[in-house]
Structure formats: C-alpha cells, structure tokens
Amino acid sequence: MVVGAGPAGLSCSCELAKQGFKVAVLERGRTPGSKNLFGGRVYSAPLEKVYGNLRKEAPIERWVKHEKLSMMADDGAISIGYDSLRSTSFTASLSKLTAWMAAKAEEQGAVIVTDVRVDGVAMNDGRATGVIAGGERLDADVVVVAEGANRLLCEGMKIVPPLSPSQVALGARQVVRLGTEKINERFGLASDEGLAWFFLGEPSDFLPGGAFLYTNSSTVSIGLVLYLEEGTPVPGKSVYDILEEFRAAPPLKQLLSGGSVVEYGSHLIPEAGLKMMPDRVYGDGYVVVGDAAGLVLNLGYTVRGVDFAVHSGHLAAQAITDAHASGFSSGNLAAYEQKLKASFVIKEMRKHGAIQKLMQKRQIFEAYPRMVVDIARRLYEFDDTSPKFIEAGRRSMKGRRSTIGMLDDLLLLARGP
C-alpha cells in the first residue's frame, strides 16, 4: 500500500505493479496531483529510467536551455547567464505531470483511490501492518510512506520528531498567463526553449530563500522560497505581499505586463538536508520515500526535488521486490536504504551540504547582493573619475561584510558539510 500519489509514491507504485504486485495508492486530494505544488523545473534522467517514453508522452512545457541568476538590491541588479543547445531539465505543471504518472501506474495495474485521508499507519509490535483511514483499518504487507513534507504519519510512527521551523521553508507561487508568443518575444526564446531564472536579495525582501521564475508553454511561474526560521517577514507584511511586490517590480513588471494570474499556491519544502532524514528510512513492513524522507536539495541556483523523489520511489520498489520472497522484515527492507545511500541522491545531498548551511545565512541574501550591486554601481555610474575595481570593492564591503566573514563563508563551502 502506498500513501500519497505524488512523484515518489507513483513511481514506486508503477514499478511494483509492473512486477505483478497488487498495489493500492491512497491519495488525500480529489485527483492525483491536485495537492502537488512546486516551482516548475524537473531534471529528466531519473524519470526516464522509470518512464522510458517520457520525452514523447509526458506533459512537458519547455526544455530549459537558458539559465539566469540575478542579485538585486536598491533598484539595481547584476546578472549572469548560461545558454545551451541541449537540456537535461524541463518545466512542467506538477499537477499535470503527476496525473500523467498516475495514469502510467494504473496502466500497469495499480489502483489509485482519491479523496481518502490516511490518519495513521497501523502498527503491531513495531511492525507496520496497514493504515487507518476513515476509521477503518486497511491491511497491507508493506506500507510505502510518501506523504510529503507534512510528516504526520512519520511522527505518529515516532520515527521523526515534529517539524521545526529550522527544517522547512515556505514556497509560494503564482502562475501568470501571457501566451506563447509574448513569452517567446519578451524572454528571447524559441517555442521549445525554456528559461530558469533565480533571484537573490530584494525579491525575497532580503530574507533567506530567494525567488524564481520559470517559463512554461503559455504561462510563467514566479515564486518565493523563504526559510521559516530565518525568513520571517517584517511586521505587517505577509509572504503574499512580498510575492506581489516581486511581480510588480522591474524587471518582472515589464516582462509580465498584460498577464493574468491564473493560479496561486503555497506549500512547505524540506530544507534541512540529511539532518531531516529519519534515522532509518525503512522498518518492519514500511519504507519512507520522497519529501517525507527529506530528499530535496536547494543549491541557490537550482533546486532538485521531483527527480530525487522519483528515484527514491524507484529504489524502494526494487527493495520491496527483492524482499518479497523472504518477507518484508526490517532486515530485508534495509536494502532500500543501502541503495539510496549508494545512489546519486544521497551523494548529491552530502556533497552540497555546505550550500544548504549557507542558504540559511541572512548575509547571503542581504549583505552580498547589496555589496555586489553597489560595486557595479560604483564601476559604471560615475561623474568624471572611475574607481579601481579593488577600491570599489573595498568601499562597498564597508559596513556590510568583513573580509574574515567572507573567508569564513568560502571556507564553509570548501570544507563541505
């Protein structure tokens, strides 16, 4: 039994059904994907291992061939970009992508039941034996916990503590309809090309997290990610207010002129890296996958989550299949965690753990953007004499960030987690 029809739960259910297992997926939303929300980009390789015809059949909006990172402060901005003829990621509506994944699971024989709230995992002497839903007990040989970032089931099983503000960020997103022609013209894109654009500094009100923009076929997704512990809006200003200010300020004001907001949503995002993982992502009769296992990586210039979730579900299905002959004991299902630790998912999270620490430091989103923009302003905006670069840098650093502080940040990156 799989709890949650998100990318992790659906990839697991699809693989298990393909192997001949009787699979039931319980989803709280009215339709698969109706409760799923994310920024907009998916890295394709892990999905193509599960869904061989992904490129031809999946509801892909655009392939990302243009990357941009901007630091913005005090009505100024400095940006760097990267353009490529190839792409390893695409933009998508997660609700549409998840609905497509659900259809693939059903084609293999999985049964998906929606509008069902699972209240708990049924335990007997420390072993998961099914779930409790609507006051009824539903028995299962093994339970796949794919409940997402709100880990109420995991808390009830006492395998994770209650969520704390230091572990999660709040993601808020708007989808603005512009039309394909306007998007192509304003962002300089061909119809099959997508743009992923990240912002640090003023767009997030200088709070840790940042802002983003993704181009879809006929819409543009914009949003914020704010760390709950460090990213508390000033009194009287909500996250929605910050997002509205972002949309109404240059350069988005011009780029999105005439567009209409057709969707708005928010959700919690795991941001504590490996510290958010349960001590064990398996036990007698159960495994934990996707966001519930804390498998999200925010690098500041890109975010990985859907591909991690899909791959974890894929590995969980492999471990369950291997354990079938001898039973779903903790010892047999331990292979899932072994596979996960040997995979790119955990290796990536370990390698980039230092960046996740930096992402929670306020100076990354306030001092540095202001300093970088001020350096550019001094170099380009002058009356009769222009400063040397080192002089502009020294003046811009004054009162914002010390040399020792900058070296500490660089050392943290060099040392890793």
pLDDT tens-digit readout, 156-166: 999 999 988 88
User: Residue for token digits 């020294």?
Assistant: 394
User: Could you give the angle at the alpha carbon of 96 between the alpha carbons of 95 and 101, nearest 5°?
Assistant: 95
Length of the chain in residues, anyone? Answer: 417
Per the structure block, which two tokens stand in for 204?
Answer: 């997030």
Query: 2-60+93-164+275-351: which CATH architecture?
Result: 3-Layer(bba) Sandwich (3.50)
pLDDT value at residue 255: 97
DSSP 162: P
pLDDT per residue as tens digits for the range 344-362: 999 999 998 877 777 877 8
Q: What is the mean pLDDT of the chain?
A: 91
pLDDT value at residue 410: 59
Average pLDDT (174-187) is: 97
Task: Mention every residue, 6+ apart, whose C-beta is less than 8 A from residue 374.
Answer: 73, 74, 76, 395, 396
pTM value?
Answer: 0.92
pLDDT value at residue 197: 97
- Identify the H or E element spanning 57: helix 54-57
Q: Is the pLDDT of residue 215 over 60?
A: yes
Count other Cβ atoms within 10 Å, centred on residue 21: 18
Find out if CATH 3.30.9.90 is the number for domain 166-270. yes
Could you state, in order of their start, the residue ranges of all structural domains in the chain? 2-60+93-164+275-351, 166-270, 358-415
Q: Is the pLDDT of residue 108 over 60?
A: yes
What does each C-alpha distance from 22 to 16, 109, 111 come to in angstroms?
8, 8, 8
More confident residue, 230 or 65: 65
Instruction: Give the Cα separation of 221 and 90 in Å (integer).
Output: 13
DSSP string, 243-269: HHHHHHSTTHHHHTTT-EEEEEEEEEE
Number of H helices, E strands in the chain: 16, 20
Q: Is the pLDDT of residue 41 over 90?
A: yes
Average pLDDT (319-330) is: 96
User: Could you give the angle at the alpha carbon of 91 between the alpha carbons of 172 and 167, nearest 5°?
Assistant: 40
Coil, strand, or helix at residue 93?
A: coil
What does each C-alpha distance from 44 to 2, 50, 310, 314, 373 come to in angstroms?
23, 10, 10, 14, 34
pLDDT value at residue 406: 59
pLDDT value at residue 362: 80
Listed in sequence order, the DSSP H helices in 163-213 are: 180-187
- Identify the H or E element spanning 195: strand 193-201
Identify whether the C-beta of residue 219 lies closer than 8 Å to the C-beta of residue 59.
no
Residue 161: asked if its preceding bond is cis (omega within 30°), the reply is: no
Per the structure block, which two tokens stand in for 322?
Answer: 């291997």
